[in-house]
Structure 1
Amino acid sequence: MSNPINMQLDARTVEILSGITTATLTTLLLKKGLRNVWLRGTRPLRPGQPRLVGRVFTLRFVPAREDLATPESWSSPISTRAAIEDMPAGCIAVVDAMGVTDAGIFGDILCARMAKRDVAALVTDGVVRDVAGVLGTGLPVWCSGAAAPPSVAGLTFVAWQQPIGCGGVAVFPGDVVVVDDDGAVLIPAALLEEILALAPEQERLEAWIMGEVEKGASLPGLYPPNAENKARYLAETAKDRA
């Protein structure tokens, strides 16, 4: 089930997006007409994790079916174990768990293997199990919480590197995801270059506006800036944008 998509992001892309908040990204994508890019239920398992950027590597669960969702299925060629061995270094695993919160999709052993393979992070609208052990692996995780039962108690694993829905968002292999304390935001692959061009300027503008607010400026005409404030902003930040 390997996909020929180049999963490695170049250093420039990682550097730019590592400095852009997911909040800013949602604003930029909204301006491009995309309202549904924030993956619901993806909260950092450990608050304060660094902002991470990576190509999406998808995994998909469907509802549990008793003849398929068994402990024996873990040894199947189509299994989470096999999918993990297909994950390239630097990817972010995005898992469609259908929002199920009473069956943990991965535990400490699977997360430890992902960490060994240099997977950047795990993102899911489901939950994990063995939380203390998962935290101990050092793998950054964004999820909806924890549950003791294994995945087969509520889910059947069916595929990887296929289009999925995670947190109500359509996710395709090769898309880019950015995660921070506000959750996970998807950047469609086709819009990546546009966002890379726009994001630093948006962050610079908002930082300037925050500085003005801290000086006591009122919001009308400042956020968003009117023509006068826009001109002042451009003049004061000309060196930064050169």
Structure 2
Amino acid sequence: MNDLLSPDTPYPIVGEPVVRPPARDLELLRPLGSATVGATLHKMGVRRTFIEGPLPQCPGSHVTGPAITLQLMPRREDFVPAIPEQHHVKKSALWQVLDTIEPGDILVIQAGGDRQTGILGDILSGYFHDKGGAAIVVDGCLRDWPDIQKLSLPVWSNGFTPNHAWQGDQMPWAYHVPIACGGVLVLPGDIIVADDDGAVLVPAKLASEVATIAADQEGWEEFGREQLAAGKLLERYYPLADDARDEYEAWKRQRRNRDE
């Protein structure tokens, strides 16, 4: 990584190439909702995983993919002059990170809740989408929302602004580095699960374990819904009581046999 911190420092700051998680881990997590995944991580002792602030702007979207990180920092004109932007914009972390995108990647952006900076508009979002980018999660704002909507690109953001990226007080500072997005530490290559409940981070090294535990929870929750709809006792079936697990296992076997 480039040496910090002096106005003469090379800019932007660039981390190591991203190591993306195994495809199998992504596939195991893909059917699971953010609520179940977040609850599972909480049980495992990883308690700060919900990215607070960004709201689902495309209702019905559900994505799972590796996090590609972009960090914005408060602007300092001795690093990046306010004008003329044409001399430095194409060398910025914002431009450079987009050229590293691979199909299925989720761009996760640290903007510190800033609402004056429109970090991406429709052209850069379209470029990201055309490269196979799966979604954008940002604790800040985008611009050109009517045109971004036409891309069918899932977005989780704090909102929208008419300002472009160089009108606000934030500047693209670094990419492929650890960031804080919505109060959550996101490492490059971590996994994001996002849906209508919001966006949750899964540490890459825990993905397989999380998927196994969370899939079991979604299974017994579905079983519990059926039992409650049939008039059974809430205290026995939600959460699933230990002495009801044999019933649940029999229910699973019955479903497997039915589907074969």
The partner residue of 1:7 within 14, 20, 36 is: 20
Quick one: structure 1 residues 36 and 55, their matched pair in 2 at CA, closer, same or farther if it must change by over 3 Å? same
Runs of 4+ in 1 over 4 A off after TM superposition: 239-242
**Distance in 1 (alpha carbons) for counterparts of 2:159 and 2:213:** 34
Q: Which residue does 1:35 correspond to in 2?
A: 47
Q: Is the 8 A contact 1:114 1:139 kept in 2?
A: no
Q: What is the percentage of aligned positions where both structures have the same residue?
A: 32
Q: Which residue does 1:111 correspond to in 2?
A: 125
Query: How big is the shift at 1:73?
Result: 6.0
Q: Which amino acid aligns with 1:197?
A: T
Query: How big is the shift at 1:173?
Result: 0.5
What TM-score, normalized to structure 2?
0.85
**Distance in 2 (alpha carbons) for counterparts of 1:183 and 1:74:** 34
Q: What secondary structure does 2:216 align onto?
A: helix
- 216-225 or 55-64, larger mean C-alpha shift: 216-225
Q: Which amino acid aligns with 1:44?
A: P
The partner residue of 2:249 within 226, 234, 241 is: 234
Q: Deviations over 1:182-216 (max 9, x none)?
A: 11110001111211222221111111111112222
For 1:1-242, what aligned pairs fall within 5 Å after superposition? 1=14, 3-7=16-20, 9-10=22-23, 12-49=24-61, 51-67=62-78, 68=80, 70=82, 71-72=85-86, 74-152=88-166, 153-240=168-255
Query: How big is the shift at 1:9?
Result: 4.1
Structure 1: which 5+ residue stretches go unaligned? none
Structure 2: which 5+ residue stretches go unaligned? 1-13
Q: What secondary structure does 1:144 align onto?
A: strand
- 76-85 or 163-172, larger mean C-alpha shift: 76-85
What TM-score, normalized to structure 1?
0.91
**Distance in 1 (alpha carbons) for counterparts of 2:169 and 2:87:** 13
Q: Which residue does 2:4 correspond to in 1?
A: none
**Distance in 1 (alpha carbons) for counterparts of 2:200 and 2:105:** 15
- 232-241 or 21-30, larger mean C-alpha shift: 232-241
Q: What secondary structure does 1:220 align onto?
A: helix
Q: What secondary structure does 1:48 align onto?
A: coil
Q: Which amino acid aligns with 2:241?
A: N
**Distance in 2 (alpha carbons) for counterparts of 1:91 and 1:41:** 21
Q: Is the 8 A contact 1:42 1:144 kept in 2?
A: yes
Q: What secondary structure does 1:56 align onto?
A: strand
Query: How big is the shift at 1:239?
Result: 4.2
Query: How big is the shift at 1:218?
Result: 3.1
Q: Which has the larger radius of gyration?
A: 2
Q: Is the 8 A contact 2:106 2:134 kept in 1?
A: yes
RMSD over equivalenced CA pairs, Å: 1.9
